[in-house]
A and B are shown apart, each in its own frame.
Chain A
Amino acid sequence: MASMRAAARPPALPSNVRVGPGTVVTGDYVTGPLAFRHFRSERDPGLIFGAHCTIDGVVFNVGPEGRVEIGDYCYLQEALLVCEVEIRIGNHVAIGWHATIIDADFHPVAIEARIADAVACSPLGAGRAHPPFARRPVVIEDDAYIGPNVTILKGVRVGAGAFVEAGAVVARDVPPGRRVLGNPARLVGRAPAR
């Protein structure tokens, strides 16, 4: 019980995290202790929050070479950011509950390499090289809306003012001002205007 209460405090920020004025980073009872447990960025800064952001229960899983940059006035709610290279989020971006943004595959596609990777990842894999895998930056431009349960995959650019509907799985770029829906996400017209 006591440990669960401790978890409600805001997470401690690693030293290579920059936080702009007016930005609040909260953990909740689920992510409090988890928020930065997998933050391993060796870049400095490895994570930049702009000004006046509300970062509520977000988990930052960032590898040694990864860097996350979030602009001003963003609102992220219980999202998961998995970053090996770069995730760049513009200004006035709203990201819904339980969304996942991931900029890498983490395992190679070709079967031989994948088997070698499975061995390297195993408890018996110490000293073995991990075969390379696809990693490409994700960019979410200003004023985009990302709904709850959305997945944004590596290399995707979500254009300014785009509207990604709840549950969409986005594997390709979303042009500015358009609305996407589905798995895989498809264009279904313009972002709703009213």
Chain B
Amino acid sequence: MSSDWHPGTIPPNVALDETAYVGTSYSFTRYRTGRSVGLRVGRGASLCDMTVLDVGPRGRVVLGDFALVNAARIICDAEVTIGDYALVAWDVVLMDTYRVPFETAARREALRELPRRTPRCLPSTGRSLPVHIGRGAWIGFGACVLPGVTIGEGAIVAARAVVVEDVPCHAVVAGNPAQVVRGRGMPSNRC
């Protein structure tokens, strides 16, 4: 980063390939994982400007070789992996956790606890389900990928789709909630 507009640094537990690109240290303003490697960025991979890595104390994000993440929001308490050659567009949300407890009384308690925390971030609720984006998949702008979802190799998620269940390899999904619109029942779905 020769000209970073944000006065920050890349944390020491980021394993950055020497050929990888990180647009700005602003991406790490909500990165607080204590894992020995909290983020791995592969060969020729890019983490472009305004991508935010909201990674909790035990979270880990892996970006494969030549993967391109452009201004997405990654909310991770367990694991989010983005495969080689995958493309993730702007305003996309990849979340492996809701951060808030589901049960109302517990959620209320977490929110009452929040002002006493430094920084004011919600703790992991312990119910994170990893998100995996397959090799060569393409996530269109504004799409949301919910906890536990695996996007198959080569699949396409249309803009603003909300993906609540796994996407078969090489399928195209669209809509909210997302449904397969092309490529269902193909032999290439098995991978």
Contact = CB atoms under 8 A, between A and B. Distances in A.
Contact of A149 (B5, B142, B164): B142
A67 interface: no
B100 interface: yes
Given A4-B5, A166-B144, A194-B102, A73 B93 contact: no
Interface residues of B, number: 35
A172 interface: no
Contact of A191 (B91, B102, B142, B175): B102
A172 to B, nearest CB: 15
B160 interface: yes
Which applies to chain A's interface (DSSP): helix, strand, loop or mixed? loop
A149 B29 contact: no
A48 interface: no
A29 interface: yes
Label chain B's interface by main secondary structure: loop
Contacts of A24: 115, 120
Interface stretch (A11-19, A36-44, A109-117, A140-148): A140-148
A98 B54 CA distance: 14
A52 interface: yes
Nearest to A150: B144
B18 interface: no
A166 B162 contact: yes
Interface of A: 1, 4-5, 22, 24, 28-30, 52-54, 56, 73-75, 92, 94, 97-98, 143, 145, 147-149, 161, 163, 165-169, 177, 181-183, 191-194
Interface of B: 5-7, 26, 29, 50, 54, 73, 75, 91, 93, 95, 98, 100, 102-104, 107-108, 111-112, 114-115, 120, 122, 142-144, 146, 160, 162, 164, 175-177
17 contacts: A28-B29, A53-B115, A54-B114, A54-B115, A73-B111, A92-B112, A143-B107, A147-B98, A148-B73, A148-B95, A148-B144, A149-B144, A149-B162, A165-B164, A177-B104, A181-B164, A191-B102
